[in-house]
Amino acid sequence: MLREPDPARCRDLAADLRDAGFTAEALRDAWGQAADDAIARGLRSPASRGLGDREDPLAVLGRLLVLGMPQAAASVDRALVRTGAEGLTRLGLASAEGGEVRPLALVRPQSYADETGSGHWWVASDLDEAALGGPLPEDHVLGVGGASLTLAGLQLPTPAARGLDIGAGCGIQALRARAHVDHVVATDISARALAFTRLNALLNGVDGIEVRQGSLFAPVEGELFDRVVSNPPFVITPRVADVPAYEYRDGGMVGDDLVAAFVSGVGRHLAPGGVAQLLGNWETRDRIAGLDRVRGWIESSPVPLDAWVVERERLDPLSYAELWVRDGGTLPGTPGFARLVDAWLDDFGARGVTEVGFGYLLLRRPLDGVPTLSRYETLHAALAGDGLGAHLAAALDAHDRLGTLDDAALAASVLLVAPDVTEARHHLPGADDPTIIELRQGGGFGRALGVDPGLAALVGACDGDLPVGVLIDAIAELLEVDAGALRADLLPRVRELLFTGFLRFVPGG
């Protein structure tokens, strides 16, 4: 049982981890990149082999707290001078008996970086499948995974007063939000998850995080927030006997009803101008596309909302079922795997589900109550890199500014091409003119956009010197086309390029 974390012991443990150089980079150097990658796939023996017989503090803590392997109590006492084996047991992170310390939780270092700087956290969570040697218990508290890192990177890096993290789990989103939000309320239905959230806040010296137990918005009824973030338990799970209902991923509702409930309820808890960001699954049912169903949820919200929804992936029912059965620690070929897959397929079949989408939702309560943003798109390419939160914030700023500009005002604006944009031209052998001109984005969502010579020329000429209208007139003369017609064609596309980050307004202009 994870105990109520003692602040003094958490400070001691943090100091010991710091003295040991317990960082993600140091561990990766110690056991090698390939072994580090294998840990994410549930394989810990390559990392253990990489450490060999080393008994320095980094190696001992790597085995104990990252790989979940028992260590000699004497080695732990030497590695954690202030905390020792006794301190770990009093924090509920380990047990000690017969000169051996057995981990009861993992504490893994996690690096982070955004445009405001970089650093690392130590994140405690429950033992994973590799450490347990089998399926997870239903009250398992998940550590930092790919989805949680994605959402952390999507969070807007702009200041706000009050934040809300729904379904906090180990607290990674609350930690990330606290970097830009003055006070964060973290909620979860699981008392164990909230204990990990408190522990991780103390371990990383982060104040201003308040925890409350309850489902969805129940713990914050009647309250408003400037920022809401959630990696909710959105995984679609059959509501039948003998199918494990893991608290960290299963919200106890049918199909995608949990995401629908979040969308329908979040507007009442957003202050004017407040933004909610979450991950979610949505079903394509009875020939109604998943994104269209999401649009319906948002349009029926009792509080009008701006919306930007990005679908990143679609899976057929079988692939989805296999993914989440394996995630729970039941592997192909083991008892129960086929039975669990069949339960998922029966559940999908009963609702006429043919696909399941996964993606990101950004919802905003307009300051004046009138939505102006309604964007639903599919972007299946890999993410371009860090800084997506800043990219989203810049897109919202561009959208709001464009809403104040008619075409004449836009034509009078001076623009810059973003520094991460490159152009590719493809020619047939021996041809002077390209058959394809493509603009590519190195950051943001890594978009690639086919353009015609007129738009390519305009983007290339946006160097912060002349207004857009003057550039279009010059291009029209060069191409020997009507300047008015070219303006009518290019200005709407310039608006899209400003929103998606290919172009930017000149600072201060």
pLDDT in tens, 403-431: 999 999 999 999 999 999 999 998 888 77
Q: What is the band of 115 on the pLDDT scale with cuts at 50, 70, 90?
A: low
Q: Name 307's bridge partners.
A: 363, 374
pLDDT at 118: 74
Instruction: pLDDT band for 21, please (50, 70, 90 cuts).
Output: very high
Among residues 1, 81, 5, 66, the alpha carbon closest in space to that of 30 is found at 66
Q: 342 CB contacts (<8 Å, ≥6 apart)?
A: none
Cβ neighbours of 59 (radius 10 Å): 22
pLDDT at residue 385 is higher than 60: no
Query: For position 358, what pLDDT does the model report?
Result: 94
CA distances (Å), origin 351, targets 242, 284, 354, 459: 20, 10, 9, 47
Q: CA-to-CA distance for 11 and 63, rounded, in angstroms? A: 22
pLDDT digits over 346-380, tens only? 999 999 999 999 999 999 999 999 999 999 999 98
**To 5 degrees, how large is the angle CA 101–CA 105–CA 107?**
100
Average pLDDT over every residue of 223-245 = 88
Question: Which tops the pLDDT comparison, 336 or 35?
Answer: 35
pLDDT computed for residue 509 by the predictor: 67
Would the pLDDT of 239 be above 70?
yes
Q: How much is the pLDDT for 333?
A: 84
SS3 174: helix
As a whole number, mean pLDDT of residues 142-150 equals 87
Q: Check: CB of residue 420 under 8 Å from CB of residue 479.
A: no
> 477-502: per-residue pLDDT in tens?
999 999 999 999 999 999 999 999 99
- Rounded to whole angstroms, the Cα distance separating 499 from 410 reads 13
CATH class in words for 140-317+355-400: alpha beta
Question: pTM of this prediction?
Answer: 0.92
Q: What is the DSSP string of 211-240?
A: EEESSTTGGGTT--EEEEEE---B-----S
Interval 250-294: pLDDT, tens: 777 888 889 999 999 999 999 999 999 999 999 999 999 999 999
Res 185: pLDDT: 98
- Report the pLDDT value the prediction gives residue 197, as an integer from 0 to 100: 97
Instruction: Measure the CA–CA gap between 498 and 428, rounded to whole angstroms.
Output: 31
Residue 74: per-residue pLDDT: 97
Domain ranges in the chain are: 7-103, 140-317+355-400, 401-505
Q: What is the pLDDT of residue 276?
A: 98
Q: What is the mean pLDDT of the chain?
A: 92
Q: Place 297 in a pLDDT band, splitting at 50, 70 and 90.
A: very high
**Which among 195, 199, 196, 150 is positioned nearest to 176, based on CA atoms?**
150
Sheet (strand 463-467) strand order: 463-467, 414-417, 503-505
Output the pLDDT for position 41. 85
- Res 116: pLDDT: 65
Cα separation, 135 vs 325, in Å, equals 10
| pLDDT value, residue 33 | 96
Span 64-93, mean pLDDT?
96
